[in-house]
A and B are shown apart, each in its own frame.
Chain A
Amino acid sequence: MLNRRDLLKLSSVAASSLLLPAGLRPAFAAGEDITIGAPLPMSGPFAANGKFGSMGTAMIVEEVGKVLDRKLGYLEIDTEGKPATAVRKVQEAMERGVTLFAGGILSSEALAMGKEVAKGKGVFITTAGADEITGSECNKGTFRWSVPTFGAIEQTVRPLIEQLPNAKRWYTITPQYVFGDGLLNAAKAIFKEKGIEHVGNSYHSLTEKEFSGYLTNAMAAKPDALLILNFGSQSSDTLRQAVSFGMKKRMTILLAWASGLEQFETLGPDLMEGVYFGAQYWHGIDSPFNRELVAKVQAKHKMNPNYAFASAYLTTKILIDAAAKAGSTEGSAVIQAMEGMKYTGLTGDEEIRAADHQVIKNYYLLKGKAKSAMKDKDDYADIISFGKSFQSPEQAQCKMA
């Protein structure tokens, strides 16, 4: 129910935001607090991501405490998972003087918010999946931490083909929209190059929950490997149902765009054993900065950081560091500081590419392990391989205005 933190927020909201006459509206000015906007889906179907994202933002903000001699704070913005609400609330935050934003889980809300923040000369960094964010819809104000679909496929399908020389026939299941097509096209290119037979693809809608029909199609094609290209609860449903059809025993399954720990918790080791997963982040990554984060989160929250937590923590940190480097929270100065910035990230050395604002970082291929082999309750998978694969900004069709 309502906890103390919520009640505090209640009083501050009532006091500051709504019912004050125009002249008394709080304004942000130099010398006052620096506020980072955290637009996340706190309610609605993606509330789980919002919850952990908000925890990650809170942690880094508390940790840093002060920047440019000003107190650091953050503003949690519930996008409700709806682009319209997200944009409206981001507009409001900008009117209150917030210029730096880290958040946006869903592609639709992230695209829309990026446009809005750029229009208001602010900075927005996101982890959403749509390639357009640093591709055809790229803009000056928007940055993206997550690896695009191209890299996700290059770092999962390619190493897996090398590991499984006998898997010559692949079947794909793809959600019918730009994100799915991005993954599918990247996979097709590798299949062609490697002489793999693509024995079929099933498109499904974004609202689909029942995959038995698609799996029936897939089994009829007798593939050696099943490549699942949807994400979130849809990919969990696909995998769960594929396992129930006995497909795990008959073929290799790769889920190219998994969410990591939060998804693995809902799947459990029985479903995951022997299945391959692609991931942006995994708490088992062997990098100094990640080990540090894992230890801190363990100490504070008695849990391992998942993708939503870690990515919110890191993207917020990037904004803070860039503001410190720029000596200002002014959008254009922070953007300049971020472009080309090299830093030690959770996945090792990371770099922000200036031309399209894409972060260059590793993508991971994981393999689910048996329950008996798990060392602790979160030890669902081992890292098989990882690496960086990115299209050039031109290939990604980014024309920065």
Chain B
Amino acid sequence: MIYLFQLVNGIGLGMLYFLLAVGLSIIFGLLHFVNFAHGAFYLLGAYLVYDMTERGLNFWAALLVAPIIVGALAALTESVLLRRIYHLPHTFHILVTVGLALMVQELVIILWGPVGGNVSTPDALSGVLILGDFIYPQYRLFVIGLTLVLGIGLWWLLEGTRLGAVVRAGSESTDMVSLLGIDILRVNTAVFALGAGLAGLAGALAAPIRGVEPFMGVEALGIAFVVVVIGGMGSYTGALIAGLLVGIVQSIMTTLWPEGARLMIYLGMGLVILTMPRGLLGRA
């Protein structure tokens, strides 16, 4: 019985991980860009919601606005800084994005202090769902539902629209896309902003569950990498499956062998790379 509870709880966690990781995956797929600053966008999303609700803004409005601001900041960063380094080897991608992540983290401390804070769950969702022995917070249910809807929307965006076609084509060959007369620079910026905005949204949604503190981005980055690697870089479905897998494993391990949860996850990550180099569903 307890495993059933943990399974459901793991799905809830997994959906959040999916949202966090899918942006990183898309960015890698199109731009072949290793983004160690992904966690920083998650951090920003969470702090923006915190700031706005502290100022008395409605949580729902904050939830809508925060990812847009994060996306806009990401677009700015991409067009001013990152596009200058795409042609460089991964070493420099890592150097720049690690630097960026450090700067965002320290700016957050300067702006909001080192202590962190709490974001109240909106009143409408502060209750719990009770089914016999099973208890689950309404807010987490809402997160699962919203992520599902977003996931479907994102799938449509990537598979059913012109942008999606360009993104997919671009991840095969950027030259070809350019030859087709598409402004690849603008597509790159849009995709980067979308990916970062999704991380920002994940942060915003996580804020009432986790609270906010300046170092939350580091942990998020770790999880995002695991999910992306297991799922396959650039794969939308892969991120979904891997996100759920990591969430469920993590949750069930808390009952079985809690100290070993992380050990298992990183062991799994290593095994996947070794046996299925492109991840579960990565594009070759």
Q: Which residues of A pack against B, CB within 8 Å?
A: 1, 45, 47-48, 51, 176, 202-205, 207, 209-210, 212-214, 216-217, 219-220, 233, 236-237, 240-241, 244-246, 262, 265-268, 270-271
Stretch at the interface among B58-66, B112-120, B273-281: B112-120
Q: B238 in the interface, Cβ–Cβ < 8 Å?
A: no
Q: Tell me if A217 and B259 are in contact (CB < 8 A).
A: no
Q: Tell me if B254 and A214 are in contact (CB < 8 A).
A: yes
Stretch at the interface among B88-96, B131-139, B177-185: B131-139
Asked, given contacts A236-B211, A268-B118, whether A212 binds B216 with beta carbons under 8 Å apart, the answer is: no
Q: Tell me if A214 and B258 are in contact (CB < 8 A).
A: yes
Q: Tell me if B13 and A210 are in contact (CB < 8 A).
A: yes
Stretch at the interface among B1-9, B41-49, B79-87, B229-237: B1-9
Asked, given contacts A48-B113, A210-B13, A245-B137, whether A240 binds B118 with beta carbons under 8 Å apart, the answer is: yes
Q: Tell me if A237 and B210 are in contact (CB < 8 A).
A: yes
Q: Tell me if B121 and A244 are in contact (CB < 8 A).
A: yes
Q: Tell me if A212 and B12 are in contact (CB < 8 A).
A: yes
Residues in B neighbouring A47, C-beta threshold 8 A: 109, 114, 214
Q: Tell me if A213 and B135 are in contact (CB < 8 A).
A: no
A357 to B85: give the CA distance in the assembly, Å: 57
Q: Tell me if B114 and A266 are in contact (CB < 8 A).
A: no
Asked, given contacts A213-B254, A219-B135, A244-B139, whether A205 binds B209 with beta carbons under 8 Å apart, the answer is: no
Q: B250 in the interface, Cβ–Cβ < 8 Å?
A: yes
A67 to B201: give the CA distance in the assembly, Å: 56
- Cβ 8 A contact of B9, one of A202, A209, A216, A246: A216
Residues in A neighbouring B253, C-beta threshold 8 A: 213
Q: Tell me if A246 and B258 are in contact (CB < 8 A).
A: no
Q: Tell me if B1 and A202 are in contact (CB < 8 A).
A: no
A266 to B133: give the CA distance in the assembly, Å: 31
Q: B175 in the interface, Cβ–Cβ < 8 Å?
A: no
- Cβ 8 A contact of B140, one of A51, A205, A220, A244: A244
Q: Which of B110, B117, B213, B216 has the most CB of A within 10 A?
A: B213
Q: How far is the CB of B174 from chain A (nearest CB, A)?
A: 37
Q: Tell me if A245 and B258 are in contact (CB < 8 A).
A: no
Query: For chains A and B in complex, what number of residue pairs have CB atoms within 8 angstroms?
Result: 111
- Cβ 8 A contact of B128, one of A237, A245, A266: A245
Q: Tell me if A216 and B5 are in contact (CB < 8 A).
A: yes
Residues in B neighbouring A262, C-beta threshold 8 A: 115
A240 to B116: give the CA distance in the assembly, Å: 13
- Tell me the count of chain B residues lying within 8 A, CB to CB, of chain A: 47
Residues in B neighbouring A271, C-beta threshold 8 A: 118
Q: Tell me if A268 and B137 are in contact (CB < 8 A).
A: no
Q: Tell me if B254 and A266 are in contact (CB < 8 A).
A: no
- Cβ 8 A contact of B6, one of A1, A216, A245: A216
Residues 193-224 of B, flagged 1 when their CB comes within 8 A of A and 0 if not, give 00000000000000011110111100100000
Q: How far is the CB of B98 from chain A (nearest CB, A)?
A: 16
Residues in B neighbouring A213, C-beta threshold 8 A: 6, 9-10, 250-255, 258
Residues in B neighbouring A45, C-beta threshold 8 A: 214-215
Q: B99 in the interface, Cβ–Cβ < 8 Å?
A: no
- Cβ 8 A contact of A1, one of B13, B110, B261: B110
A48 to B114: give the CA distance in the assembly, Å: 5
Residues in B neighbouring A245, C-beta threshold 8 A: 128, 135-137
13 chain-A/chain-B pairs, Cβ below 8 angstroms: A45-B214, A47-B214, A205-B258, A214-B258, A217-B254, A233-B211, A236-B118, A237-B210, A245-B128, A245-B136, A246-B130, A246-B137, A268-B120
Q: Tell me if A266 and B120 are in contact (CB < 8 A).
A: no
Q: How far is the CB of B209 from chain A (nearest CB, A)?
A: 7
Chain B residues touching A, majority SS: helix
Asked, given contacts A202-B258, A212-B12, A246-B137, whether A48 binds B115 with beta carbons under 8 Å apart, the answer is: yes
Q: Tell me if B254 and A204 are in contact (CB < 8 A).
A: yes
Q: Tell me if B114 and A51 are in contact (CB < 8 A).
A: yes
Q: How far is the CB of A41 from chain B (nearest CB, A)?
A: 10
* Residue on A nearest B219 in the bound complex, by CB: A209
Q: Tell me if B13 and A217 are in contact (CB < 8 A).
A: no
Q: B262 in the interface, Cβ–Cβ < 8 Å?
A: yes
Q: Tell me if B210 and A212 are in contact (CB < 8 A).
A: no
Q: How far is the CB of A79 from chain B (nearest CB, A)?
A: 14
Ranked nearest first, the 5 interchain pairs of A and B with the lowest CB-CB distance are A213-B254, A246-B128, A48-B114, A47-B114, A244-B137
Q: Tell me if B258 and A204 are in contact (CB < 8 A).
A: yes
Residues in A neighbouring B252, C-beta threshold 8 A: 213
* Residue on B nearest A1 in the bound complex, by CB: B110
A213 to B262: give the CA distance in the assembly, Å: 14
Q: B127 in the interface, Cβ–Cβ < 8 Å?
A: yes
Residues 124-162 of B, flagged 1 when their CB comes within 8 A of A and 0 if not, give 001110100101110110000000000000000000000
Q: Tell me if A216 and B2 are in contact (CB < 8 A).
A: yes
* Residue on B nearest A212 in the bound complex, by CB: B9
Q: How far is the CB of B18 from chain A (nearest CB, A)?
A: 15
Residues in B neighbouring A212, C-beta threshold 8 A: 9, 12-13, 140, 251
A326 to B135: give the CA distance in the assembly, Å: 61
A217 to B3: give the CA distance in the assembly, Å: 9
Residues 225-267 of B, flagged 1 when their CB comes within 8 A of A and 0 if not, give 0000000000000000000000000111111001101100000
Residues in B neighbouring A270, C-beta threshold 8 A: 118, 120
Instruction: Apart from A244-B139, A244-B140, list 6 A-B contacts with CB within 8 A.
Output: A45-B214, A47-B214, A212-B251, A213-B10, A245-B136, A268-B120
* Residue on A nearest B263 in the bound complex, by CB: A205
- Cβ 8 A contact of A205, one of B126, B139, B216, B262: B262
A268 to B214: give the CA distance in the assembly, Å: 18
Q: Tell me if A266 and B117 are in contact (CB < 8 A).
A: yes
Residues 1-41 of B, flagged 1 when their CB comes within 8 A of A and 0 if not, give 11001100110110000000000000000000000000000
Q: Tell me if A176 and B259 are in contact (CB < 8 A).
A: yes
Residues in A neighbouring B255, C-beta threshold 8 A: 213, 216-217
Q: Tell me if B210 and A240 are in contact (CB < 8 A).
A: yes
Asked, given contacts A1-B110, A220-B2, A240-B211, whether A202 binds B117 with beta carbons under 8 Å apart, the answer is: no
Residues in A neighbouring B12, C-beta threshold 8 A: 212
Q: Tell me if B133 and A220 are in contact (CB < 8 A).
A: yes
Residues in A neighbouring B135, C-beta threshold 8 A: 219, 245-246
- Cβ 8 A contact of B2, one of A204, A209, A217: A217
A202 to B1: give the CA distance in the assembly, Å: 17
